A and B are shown apart, each in its own frame.
Chain A
């Protein structure tokens, strides 16, 4: 079980454990351990374990936690917050749903320990509304833990959201919790200085939080050793799209796409791998030449894409990459919060052009416009938050990797 710390205890039918069942499996031992540790000791362990955040950006969790002020040292009054991000809406991502539904006590354990490390008085687990089974499971786990006195003085509650991908962006999420339309905020100030209600706040992904208890139980060395690379622990990878048996696979950080696609039963359709996105919808495409790349944040970034959610989307030889890109861009266009112009105006235009290409009505000038938009809008800082830049990554890499398909669609358009 220790080589699958995150999912080893999950049941095939996802039925969550009661508190008694969870404790029989060693649950809450890590919480007991944390109770006797100073917050800095916990952070030291998490840093030594090389835990990178699993929400998309891969920021080191321990380093983020160190920004949180000790009790009584931040100006003003009020609590500090921990927010567990369960908004999961990135195309191709289905890992947090599983962790919330099948292993809710693991999330609560992680939240208790992280709250202690970050001096947080209140924890909020934000979960998207479509994840009702996950919401119910986590709410029940909170009740049980509270009744058993395991929460100490930590206040913790679930906040079910109500749709919209942008809510998952951490500053938009904070704005949403304050009752506004979920529009991102400028950083700095970072949430650790001024987050929810202007108070120190840490935001971490569900998977990040779920890994925390295992760092305490296994110790940082053993946790690190679970990985094949410099980045610690296992990863809950997922493979979907054109594969025989799409699914979730917990595996050492640094596992390759070749191994993962094999575990998913191989490529479906014509059986030939055309391309894959290594980290969900907002990651640039890789071709078959990257099948043996160790998949972690560092390696994938160095190879020119983004590890993101670590969820692979696979395209076989018969999948139309132009139509696929069009579908992606329609999603990002719809989910734009509308705050800044490049994203609000640019994404619908891009989506419309791609739809035309997919329908065989592409025009040369349109292709140039796509290339220009991808080049101009991809770098950080060209739009207010990373939604636009994220959307541009598959577009930019797709335009070059699938240039032949675009040309073919162009020719169809010119013939018509």
Chain B
């Protein structure tokens, strides 16, 4: 499946807005991810060709950023904070409960494709520790508790 003409046009436009093809690479990766949920090898190569950069450069950049996904992710991505303030407030118990209920570990996706669980740096929600950011609009949730995990997942996210 190749990138849509509309997406390719937006990638070209990004090159003008961001000061050239190199500076537009991150934006291109984000546009692809926004539309497809993740960045496949084929899509990455196509975007690199569109911008006129080497695909290795694009790969170097994609692999640097933690929030550019190079594997398919679930419908809802759960970014669980592994920062120190969350740790002090029981993040490990929440993590264990999430893992148990979803049957997956960090970096994995449930078999039904609904959830991906990732660990991330402090989310700027230490006043709501333990905190997580969920879904496409990156909604901040917290304080979480092992008992509240079920409700969080049922929420449909």
List residues of chain A with CB under 8 Å of any chain B CB.
88-94, 96-97, 128-133, 157, 160-165, 176-182, 197, 238, 240-242, 246-248, 281, 311, 313, 315, 319, 323-324, 327-328, 330-331, 334-335
- Please tell me if B147 contacts chain A, counting CB pairs below 8 Å: no
Q: Is the CB of A91 within 8 A of B127?
A: no
Q: Is the CB of A164 within 8 A of B126?
A: no
The answer for the CA separation of A293 and B65 in the assembled complex, in Å, is: 39
Cβ-neighbour of A164 out of B17, B65, B88 (below 8 A): B65
Q: Is the CB of A96 within 8 A of B88?
A: no
The answer for the CA separation of A282 and B127 in the assembled complex, in Å, is: 18
Q: Distance (Å) between the CB of B32 and the closest chain A CB?
A: 12
18 contacts between A and B (CB under 8 A): A91-B85, A91-B126, A92-B122, A92-B126, A131-B138, A161-B65, A163-B67, A164-B66, A179-B22, A179-B24, A179-B26, A197-B19, A241-B85, A281-B83, A328-B84, A330-B82, A331-B82, A331-B84
- Please tell me if B157 contacts chain A, counting CB pairs below 8 Å: no
With A88-B124, A163-B120, A335-B121 known as contacts, the answer to whether A130 contacts B138 (CB < 8 A) is yes
Q: When each residue 78-93 of chain B gets 1 if its CB lies under 8 Å from chain A and 0 otherwise, what string results? A: 0100111101110000
Q: Is the CB of A162 within 8 A of B126?
A: no
- Residue in chain B with minimal CB distance to A245: B127
With A94-B124, A94-B127, A130-B123 known as contacts, the answer to whether A181 contacts B30 (CB < 8 A) is no
The answer for the CA separation of A93 and B68 in the assembled complex, in Å, is: 23
**Of residues B61, B84, B121, B127, which shows the largest number of chain A Cβ atoms within 10 Å of its Cβ?**
B84
With A162-B68, A178-B23, A180-B61 known as contacts, the answer to whether A238 contacts B127 (CB < 8 A) is yes
- Please tell me if B129 contacts chain A, counting CB pairs below 8 Å: yes
- Residue in chain A with minimal CB distance to B25: A179
- Residue in chain B with minimal CB distance to A269: B88
Q: Is the CB of B87 within 8 A of A324?
A: yes
Residues of B within 8 A of A165 (CB): 121
Residues of B within 8 A of A96 (CB): 124
**What are the 5 tightest A-B residue pairs by CB atom distance, in nearest-first order?**
A163-B66, A240-B126, A179-B22, A97-B124, A162-B65
- Residue in chain B with minimal CB distance to A337: B64
Cβ < 8 Å to A, chain B residues 67-106: 67-68, 79, 82-85, 87-89
The answer for the CA separation of A324 and B83 in the assembled complex, in Å, is: 10
Cβ < 8 Å to A, chain B residues 1-39: 17-26, 29-30
List residues of chain B with CB under 8 Å of any chain A CB.
17-26, 29-30, 60-61, 64-68, 79, 82-85, 87-89, 120-129, 133, 137-138, 140
Q: Is the CB of A242 within 8 A of B125?
A: no
Q: Is the CB of B23 within 8 A of A246?
A: no
Q: Is the CB of A177 within 8 A of B85?
A: no
Name 11 extra pairs, CB < 8 A, besides A93-B126, A240-B126, A246-B127.
A91-B83, A93-B122, A94-B127, A96-B124, A176-B26, A246-B85, A246-B129, A281-B122, A331-B83, A331-B122, A334-B121
The answer for the CA separation of A97 and B127 in the assembled complex, in Å, is: 11
The answer for the CA separation of A129 and B89 in the assembled complex, in Å, is: 24
With A164-B64, A180-B61, A240-B127 known as contacts, the answer to whether A331 contacts B23 (CB < 8 A) is no
Residues of A within 8 A of B124 (CB): 88-89, 93-94, 96-97, 128, 130-131
Q: Distance (Å) between the CB of B11 and the closest chain A CB?
A: 13
Q: Is the CB of A162 within 8 A of B66?
A: yes
Q: Distance (Å) between the CB of A83 and the closest chain B CB?
A: 13
Q: Is the CB of B121 within 8 A of A315?
A: no
Q: Distance (Å) between the CB of A177 and the closest chain B CB?
A: 7
Residues of A within 8 A of B25 (CB): 179
Q: Is the CB of B125 within 8 A of A97?
A: yes
Cβ-neighbour of A89 out of B20, B87, B122, B137 (below 8 A): B122
Q: Is the CB of B122 within 8 A of A327?
A: no
- Residue in chain B with minimal CB distance to A334: B121
The answer for the CA separation of A157 and B16 in the assembled complex, in Å, is: 14
- Residue in chain A with minimal CB distance to B24: A179
Cβ-neighbour of A162 out of B23, B26, B125 (below 8 A): B26
**Of residues A91, A182, A324, which shows the largest number of chain B Cβ atoms within 10 Å of its Cβ?**
A91
Residues of A within 8 A of B68 (CB): 162-163
Residues of B within 8 A of A246 (CB): 85, 126-129
Residues of B within 8 A of A177 (CB): 23
Residues of A within 8 A of B22 (CB): 178-180
Q: Is the CB of A160 within 8 A of B85?
A: no
The answer for the CA separation of A180 and B79 in the assembled complex, in Å, is: 25
Cβ-neighbour of B82 out of A162, A238, A311, A327 (below 8 A): A327
The answer for the CA separation of A92 and B131 in the assembled complex, in Å, is: 12
Residues of A within 8 A of B123 (CB): 130
Q: Distance (Å) between the CB of A286 and the closest chain B CB?
A: 16
Residues of B within 8 A of A94 (CB): 122, 124-127
With A165-B121, A178-B23, A319-B88 known as contacts, the answer to whether A129 contacts B67 (CB < 8 A) is yes
Residues of A within 8 A of B129 (CB): 240-241, 246
